[in-house]
Amino acid sequence: MIVFMTSQGSTRQPKYQRIADALRAAIQAGEYGPGDRLPGENDLMATYEVARMTARQALGVLQNEGLAEARKGAGVFVRAFTPLRRRGIQRLAREQWGSGRSVWSADSEDRELVVDQVDVREEEADGPVCAALGVPAGTQVWARSRRFVLDGKPVLFAVSYLPADIVGDSAITQADTGPGGTYARLAELGHAPVHFREEIRSRMPSAGEAERLALSLGTPVIQIVRTAFAEGGRAVEINEMTLDSASYVLEYDFDA
Amino acid sequence: MIVFMTSQGSTRQPKYQRIADALRAAIQAGEYGPGDRLPGENDLMATYEVARMTARQALGVLQNEGLAEARKGAGVFVRAFTPLRRRGIQRLAREQWGSGRSVWSADSEDRELVVDQVDVREEEADGPVCAALGVPAGTQVWARSRRFVLDGKPVLFAVSYLPADIVGDSAITQADTGPGGTYARLAELGHAPVHFREEIRSRMPSAGEAERLALSLGTPVIQIVRTAFAEGGRAVEINEMTLDSASYVLEYDFDA
DNA sequence: AAGTGGTCTAGACCACGTA
DNA sequence: ACGTGGTCTAGACCACTTT
């Protein structure tokens, strides 16, 4: 006689969840450390007497939680995390860019940082950018995009928009903006940023974002939209950044 | 003659991805608006001539991206977003809690906010909490946990820890901390917070977190760990918050 | 060459929401 | 009552990595 044991059989949880729970518990108990290989589909099929698709689903749960990572032909492995600390307020202090240092140098001490996929062009601003900059629809802006790769792992990409009428033909229109970066140049042009606003969201990446940041399954992105304001309240830059959430901890320090 | 078309057949993309791409494009083109029902498993099986599991996988992609949401017995629907704006710095200004208002009232103007699952207890602090508070291992702390439900949707839960020796038997040990909340009480006790640090991470929720916040698939959580410092630099509170990323936009305003 | 995960089929029963 | 998504089986071929 065949007993067809559905999920109701002895517990009310689906099998794949119970398998995922067991693996998750083993990871958190330290039985599998960062980088270790987990039991694969075939192991789980044997151990738990389930079909391939069910074992697969269990491993899928852990990947979607960001706990594990599959490598084709090799196995499923426990993920390791070593996030960067991004000090939101200090890194933008006038002393940073005033002294000729890059804002980014504050985030990645003694790690190899490569800037990648640089693109600088003049274009017509779209709706949301116009709204954020407070300029009429169709205004010309300079759009600067680039990607940051740390120790071989892409961690962030960013596009910043500046109204064309204030950047003129300064180094902001070049790939290399020179010492102190965009903000130092804006200061020379008489539009030094005096105030910043950062908006933070988190969501799952689109397929394109996942590829550009080499994200594994179960990794959200953090989106930061920064507006820089000059004296008088005019918005002089919008910077739209997309970060690998596994690579970053954001920090904001402020007084009551 | 049967042509067995594998993923290599005419394109190099898997079928389920092509189906997901088509649906995603239709959503972004506005063919399906927020709340609309997408074609279901049976529709996709017929339209694309695939097996149930393949149609399912395609719909799974959209859910994991946070674009769609399945309702058992009903269908798969396009998700709608209307995030709250949480002004990280202004909401903690002394005037907020100094004037007897709750810090939370700043986030949710004219929406129905319910505080839920309140639990206040004295306990021994664990490792990470001790490190963050700068107290020796095993120190007694008060742990205050609660959940916030906005218009029927849980949006956040938080646990805050305060060293037992400074809260004494003040209202901080009660479910209701009184006008101005914990920070106003700390001020009365001579430990008014003068400085805050917020650390922000994002990741996929555990199963427990997903349930407590009623998160659908493909929704990350944002974790904020706030440390409040009194005059002299002593940490007087750690607040560990877990937010539904679909319900929040964080904002930080500061000067250069 | 052997083993791994990735994709896919063609069935099945279930719990649930809606009509 | 019916259609929906949720779970599950028992096979199969593929591309990939490792040995």
Tokens standing for B220?
């990350």
* The pLDDT value given to residue A109: 66
- Inside any domain, residue B10: no
* Longest CA pairwise span in chain B (Å): 86
Q: Name the more confident of A97 and B250.
A: B250
* The pLDDT value given to residue A9: 34
Question: Cα dist. A244→A102, A148, A215, B35 in Å?
Answer: 21, 11, 7, 29
Give B104-118 pLDDT, tens digit per residue.
Answer: 777 766 677 889 899
Cβ A82 to strand D below 7 Å: no
Helix (H, G, I), strand (E, B) or coil at A112: coil
Q: Name the more confident of A111 and B122.
A: B122
- Inside any domain, residue B185: yes
Sites in chain B below the pLDDT cut of 70: 1-12, 108-110
Q: Which helix (H) or strand (E) holds B230?
A: strand B221-230
Do A243 and A118 fall within a single domain? yes
Give A9-57 pLDDT, tens digit per residue.
Answer: 334 678 999 999 999 999 999 999 999 999 999 999 999 999 999 999 9
Do B184 and B213 fall within a single domain? yes
Residue B13 to residue B15: CA distance in whole angstroms:
6
**CATH code, domain carrying A20:** 1.10.10.10
Q: Which residue has the tokens 């640089």?
A: A118
Which residues, 6+ apart, have CB-to-CB distance to A243 below 8 Å?
A155, A156, A221, A222, A223, A224
Q: How many distinct helices (H) and strands (E) make up chain B?
A: 8, 10
* The pLDDT value given to residue B168: 85
- Inside any domain, residue A2: no
Question: What average pLDDT score do residues A129-151 get?
Answer: 92
How many interface pairs between A and B have CB atoms less than 8 angstroms apart?
A: 127
Among A78, A101, A124, the domain boundary falls at A78
Among A63, A78, A93, the domain boundary falls at A78
* The pLDDT value given to residue B114: 87
Percent of chain A with pLDDT over 70: 94
Residue of B155, B252, B253 to mutate, interface with A, max A Cβ within 10 Å: B252
Residue A128 predicted with pLDDT over 50: yes
Question: What average pLDDT score do residues A61-86 get?
Answer: 92
- Closest CA of chain B from A25, distance in Å: 12
Q: Are A224 and A88 in contact (CB under 8 A)?
A: no
For residue A154, give its domain range. Answer: 84-251
- Inside any domain, residue A72: yes
* The pLDDT value given to residue B109: 65
Among A28, A63, A78, the domain boundary falls at A78
Question: What average pLDDT score do residues A225-229 get?
Answer: 97
Mean pLDDT of chain A: 89
Which one, of A131, A128, A162, lies nearest residue A145 by Cα? A162
- Inside any domain, residue B52: yes
User: Which residues of chain B make contact with A198, given a CB cutoff of 8 A?
Assistant: 251-252
Q: Tell me how crowded residue B226 is: count the other CB atoms within 10 A of its CB.
A: 21
Of the listed ranges A15-19, A71-75, A250-254, B109-113, the one predicted with least confidence: B109-113
Cβ B43 to strand D below 7 Å: yes
Q: Are A206 and B65 in contact (CB under 8 A)?
A: yes
Do A97 and A161 fall within a single domain? yes
- Inside any domain, residue A9: no
Do A70 and A91 fall within a single domain? no
- Inside any domain, residue A36: yes
B residues 219-238 closer than 8 Å to A (CB): 219-222
* The pLDDT value given to residue A223: 98
* Longest CA pairwise span in chain A (Å): 86
CB-CB under 8 Å, A200 with B249: yes
